[in-house]
Structure 1
């Protein structure tokens, strides 16, 4: 309702303007190396990274602090329109040498998930605490990526389940102590090494009041699982700007529930059950792709529930199903991904649902 005064009309107009510029979801970009000489599968060159950051700036994206944005989403507080967050995994020196100057020039906030063992050993390819402190003073936030970057869902040879869980707790707790000691604060965020977790590990993080991230692609909203949040990889084969533009404009899949069968795949082909919220969605245009296999078979159980099936079992390692669906405008895609682990016989994975 408009108030018929100059100030009232201005306030009403401002409220409409703010509402039009808000969004209730967040795409998060994931990087590792910024270098021309590191493994291509996990790297962007400085030129590619500059291209990405220039696009964000020129296209009007609002680069936000990850921790603040997640807190706002959980509190159902709107984010700026075209909000996006930037993250790095691991403690690579190239983040400081090549990535940081580009970010600093644009005043973009960013988060680095650090594994602390190579920092403590003064490994020449990794960050130092002095460099981390310097970046912290220019919009850098440093979060937990374990001490040793282990496969967190694997036991060591001869290790009991209790001993494994204690070791995982120390991988988390030791870095939390270091962040507070060296930097004065921890954002209480954790990125699973290799993106792998199980329910015991997720519970461990949840009990510590921490938000955690996997390596499945997708967009974060208040409905997301904050024990295992998605991010979009933006390096290696995913560094192409046209592909990145599609992801930056993606929205969270409007799901009521999902049925994955757990964290682990067997010698049988996986299935994925998705139940959609009521709404004006282009469900007939939903497409799901199985890694290494092409399109999944879609079996609609009802008007709002579908089962996506792979044709073949996954090979040993990580396999995924990615699903996309155009929104009503056809200009953006809803996006969802799930990852399974197909364990090798000698890998000592702990399968806990």
Structure 2
């Protein structure tokens, strides 16, 4: 009934000559048929809705114009790139050796057995040995190096390097740098041959220049200033090109003969193309050390004095005075002496982990001797529970680098040396940037 009435009204709207008369007729017909007209609907709607105050109108407009009703865009669930953060707090000790023989006997010669003893102490300490080129990359801001690290160098090019030092370094996987001077390469006698040098280069050896003649770079020998400058340029440039041509390398490091230099020599060496220049001034290298004045600790014969200075970091005893426990050390029954968490080399997703060491298998510990150090933070207020013999430390903030090194010192008895356990774990930085899964 209602549908047919609507059709009738539509037909009449097309035929009627007068709009006003037609509208009146349509209204009457619609009321008879029980149909609400558009005008009546609008009137009823306005009557039902309350009148909004100006404040309410403003609020309604604000809501309608906000982003609340925009279509939600799901974030990309792929891990975001983690920005590289450079660690500028690292410290490097550079060791300097000269010749090696079966027995020592002079400040320039160390016995093979003494050298092996020193390298073993470094290995057991857990302090990483890195190539000098890594120090350069660090200082260029391209990579991080360990919080504490050692670099090993040898001057002059004696054959004893290949005979005595190289096998020990190769066994431990230690990289090293040999500084050669042009007049003492491949000339027979006790000089290194090209074949020996190339062999060592295949197993972690880097090569630097030690000048042409190994004379003091400040000794003028009667030369005037102009001639001295030309001679100095030759000592720096010719030795560099000589090594690059014969070994097919980029020679970017220089060792001052006798450690003697001045500002003009350093400047000229940098202009020639050297990027690292090493001295003999018994100083560790840090972020602020000038690249033309990298300190070294020269080892004098059988004396351990400079070795101890070099391998003592931030107030800790040197590698030869402490007793180092490896993280994997076990007792006679095969039980781990120290249980570490996170375990060595573990990749953790928690950027604020609790660092723990369980020492119960060591039987006795002097509580006040327990000290923990975390790379990038320093000595931390770790808690030691004598009842459980557990050392723990909750990191106060999230780690921002992908590698974390921890060192734990303690004594088992007052008359015994400090024992040291060092380990490192890795942090999965990318995992922290993956958005949570959508429901």
TM-score range, shorter chain: 0.5 to 0.7
**2:220 matched residue in structure 1:** 155
Aligned partners of 2:293, 2:303: CA distance in 1, in Å?
Answer: 21
Q: Does residue 230 of the first structure (1) align with residue 306 of the second (2)?
A: no
> Are 1:244 and 2:310 matched, yes or no?
no
Match for 2:255 among 191, 199, 202? 191
**Partner Cα separation in structure 2 for residue 52 and residue 39 of structure 1:** 17
Following TM superposition, by how much is the alpha carbon of 1:154 offset from its aligned partner in structure 2, in angstroms? Answer: 1.0
- Structure 1 residues 181, 32: closer, same or farther in 2, change over 3 A? same
Cα deviation 1:310-340 (Å, max 9, x = unaligned): xxxxxxxxxxxxxxxxxxx9x9xxxxxxxxx
Residues 25 and 221 of structure 1 are in contact (CA less than 8 Å); yes or no, is this contact kept in structure 2?
yes
Give how far 1:84 is off: 0.8
- For the pair 1:78 / 2:141, whether they are aligned, the reply is no
Single out whichever of 188-197 and 211-220 deviates more from structure 2: 211-220
Greater C-alpha Rg = 2
Whether contact under 8 Å (1:73, 1:79) holds in the other structure is no
Q: Are residues 1:207 and 2:271 paired? A: yes
Q: Please give the root-mean-square deviation of Cα atoms over the aligned residues, in Å.
A: 3.0
1:105 aligns with 2:168: no
Q: Which runs of 5+ in 1 are unaligned?
A: 1-7, 253-328, 332-353
More strand by share: 1
Unaligned stretches of 5+ residues in structure 2: 1-78, 316-408, 410-417, 419-439
Tell me how far 1:124 sits from its aligned partner. Answer: 0.5
- Aligned counterparts of 1:166 and 1:73: Cα–Cα separation in 2: 31
Alignment of 1:5-20 (within 5 A): none
CA distance in 2 between partners of 1:68 and 1:53 (Å): 20
Give the aligned partner of residue 177 of structure 1.
241
- Distance change in 2, residues 1:31/1:140 (3 Å): same
- Pick closer, same or farther for the CA change 1:74–1:234 going to 2, 3 Å: farther
- 1:91 correspondence with 2:154: no
TM-score, normalised to structure 2, is: 0.50
Q: CA deviation at 1:250?
A: 3.3
Provide Cα deviations, 1:56-90, integer angstroms capped at 9, x if missing partner.
11110111011122321342853114311100011
Task: Decide whether the 8 Å contact of 1:23 with 1:78 is kept in 2.
Answer: no
Tell me the SS of whatever aligns to 2:178. strand
In 2, Cα distance between equivalents of 1:209 and 1:39: 37
1:94, 1:162 → 2: CA distance?
39
1:99 to partner: Cα distance: 0.7
Distance in 1 of aligned mates of 2:116 and 2:104: 17
1:292-321 CA-to-partner distances (Å, cap 9, x unmatched) read: xxxxxxxxxxxxxxxxxxxxxxxxxxxxxx
User: Cα offset for 1:49?
Assistant: 0.5
The question of whether the paired residues in 1 share the 8 Å contact of 2:156 and 2:210 is answered with: yes
Structure 2 SS opposite 1:177: helix
> Could you tell me which of 197, 211, 219 is aligned with 1:132?
197
- Inter-partner Cα distance in structure 2 for 1:26 and 1:110: 14
Per the TM alignment, residue 186 of structure 1 is displaced from its structure 2 partner at its CA by 2.4
Q: Could you tell me whether the CA contact under 8 Å between 1:142 and 1:186 is conserved in 2?
A: no
For residues 237 and 48 of structure 1, the distance between their equivalents in structure 2, rounded to whole angstroms, comes to 7
Counterpart position of 1:288: none
> Which TM-score applies when normalising by structure 1?
0.61
Aligned: 1:26 with 2:86: no
Q: How far apart are the structure 1 equivalents of 2:300 and 2:110? A: 5
After superposition, the C-alpha distances for 1:120-168 in whole angstroms (9 at most, x for unaligned) are: 5x130111111111111111011000111011001022x1111111111
Check whether the contact 1:115–1:145 (CA below 8 A) recurs between aligned residues: yes
Q: How many residues align?
A: 237
CA distance in 2, matches of 1:186, 1:89: 18
- 1:65 corresponds to which residue? 131
Contact 1:220 1:230 (C-alpha < 8 Å) held by counterparts: yes
